[in-house]
Structures are given as structure tokens and as C-alpha cells.
Amino acid sequence: MAWYRPRLLDLFCGAGGAAMGYYRAGFDVVGVDIKPQPHYPFEFVRIDVFDYLKDHGEEFDAIHASPPCQAYSWASARWRNNKSREYPDLLAKTREILKGRTYVIENVIGARKKLGFTFTLCGSMFNLGVQRHRLFECSELIMVPVHPQCNLGDADLVSVTGHGAPGRWYRKCTVAGHGGDGPHFSLNVWKQAMGIEWMNRDEITQAIPPAYTEYIGRQLLKSMKTEPCQ
């Protein structure tokens, strides 16, 4: 009997951190983004995500969406009075259009009030070198792993961006250099901490660790009663 490898649509895909996790879980992935993504590791379509979803959404078994998070991020709050730094809020539109589908929506902690029932994933749950907390809303029931205590006061913790951003911390890594308003780290340190090998510096600052979506993806497959091919 031939096994079926289900298809997942990755909206607002970025450079593919979420996509790699779903692929490892057993999905074939197609990414869609309005911006070019030359390092996306799977099939990629550059187009407005809502246009693509309208025309091709029924071709997929599940959908992941990571709407731009700047409207809810800690950094944007610092610039709330700066009109040049206003960001579009695409989260509500994304939630509305995904109703009735098998979906996962990912966003930053600041978006909690804009989402439905959510759970948080952290790098500490997967023994990663980053604690990057992210919220997930899912159409299916997902069992969440135990969340070890995050000790952001640990002297061995340093920030991914060099700004001390909450939820963006590496453990037990060395500072490769200094400059600007905070420490900077070698790209190899970032890659190792995130479990990502293919992204450049700008891409990895916007990504989530593939371990998050691999964990979710395996449970999605069980809920879908799908046996993926290997």
C-alpha cells in the first residue's frame, strides 16, 4: 500500500524555519510570501498570500500561517508614536480566512489577545540554545510539552539580536564581537542555537526553530489520521 505524504501550505513563509519542521514531520510543503525568499528550502511562490489561498487553498491538507508580527512585537511598542513605523495588522484577516480548515497560526507573545485558544512553545522544551517564545493557535488539539523554567537572568544567556529582547535568548554561547548598542554573535552560533543551517543573518532573526513545527506537525498527522510516506 502506498503511503500518502500530505501537503501543507506555508503562508507568510519567510525563509522556511516553520516549513522545515513540517517537512521533517512528514509533510510536503509549499511556501508563499509577497517578498522574494531565495533561501526557502522547498517549492516557493511569490504572490499575495490571500490571493494564493483563494485560488489554491483546497489543494492542501493543512495550512500554517505566520502573519507579520511587528504590530505586536516588543520592539514596535518602543516606536508606537512613530507613524513611519506603523505596521499592518494581518492577523485578524488570516484567522477569518482559515476558519473551517486544518490550520496553525504562529505569532509573538504580544498577539495573545488577538488569537483564540493558544499554547506557547519555547526552545527550552526542545533543548535548543534559544528560548524564543512563540504563540500557536491550532484547529486541532495539540499536547504541549513541559516548559522548563526560563532563567533570563543567567549570566550565560545572551541575546540573538544584541538588544536583550525578551524571548530571544541563547544559552552557553560565546560573544564573537562587539559593536553598536549590544553584542553581536557569529552566524554559526545563531544557526546552531536555532537548529537552522541555510539562512542568512537577517532571515534567522525572523525565523522560528524547526523543532517547534516538527513537534506540531507530528501531532497534526495523527489528528488527520494520515500515514505519511518517508
For the chain, the domain total comes to 1
Question: What per-residue confidence (pLDDT) applies to 4?
Answer: 78
The CATH code of the domain that includes 27 is 3.40.50.150
Residue 88 within any structural domain of the chain:
yes
Split the chain (230 residues) into runs of 10 and give each run's mean pLDDT. Answer: 81 98 97 97 98 97 89 48 58 94 94 89 89 93 86 44 39 37 65 92 92 97 71
Residue 110 within any structural domain of the chain:
yes
Q: Distance of alpha carbon 185 from its chain centroid, rounded?
A: 21
DSSP state of 186: -
Backbone angles phi, psi at 196, to 5 degrees: -130, 130
For residues 23 and 90, what is the distance between their CA atoms, to the nearest angstrom? Answer: 25
Residue 49 within any structural domain of the chain:
yes
* CA–CA–CA angle 122, 194, 225 (5° rounding): 65
Question: What per-residue confidence (pLDDT) applies to 159?
Answer: 44
For residues 168 and 192, what is the distance between their CA atoms, to the nearest angstrom? Answer: 14
Question: What per-residue confidence (pLDDT) applies to 180?
Answer: 39
Residue 157 within any structural domain of the chain:
no
Question: What per-residue confidence (pLDDT) applies to 228?
Answer: 52
Residue with cell 491538507: 61
For residues 165 and 175, what is the distance between their CA atoms, to the nearest angstrom? Answer: 16
Residue 193 within any structural domain of the chain:
no
Question: What per-residue confidence (pLDDT) applies to 171?
Answer: 42
Considering the entire predicted model, what is its pTM?
Answer: 0.81
Classify 215 as helix, strand or coil: helix
Q: If residue 57 lies in a helix (H) or strand (E), which one and from where to where?
A: none
Question: Where would I find the H helices in the chain?
Answer: 17-25, 49-56, 74-77, 91-97, 187-194, 201-206, 210-223
For residues 199 and 132, what is the distance between their CA atoms, to the nearest angstrom? Answer: 17
Residue 59 within any structural domain of the chain:
yes
**Domain housing 96:** 7-140+202-223
Provide the grid cell at 87.
Answer: 505596521
Residue 153 within any structural domain of the chain:
no
Residue 93 within any structural domain of the chain:
yes
First to last CA, the chain: 13
Question: What per-residue confidence (pLDDT) applies to 76?
Answer: 46
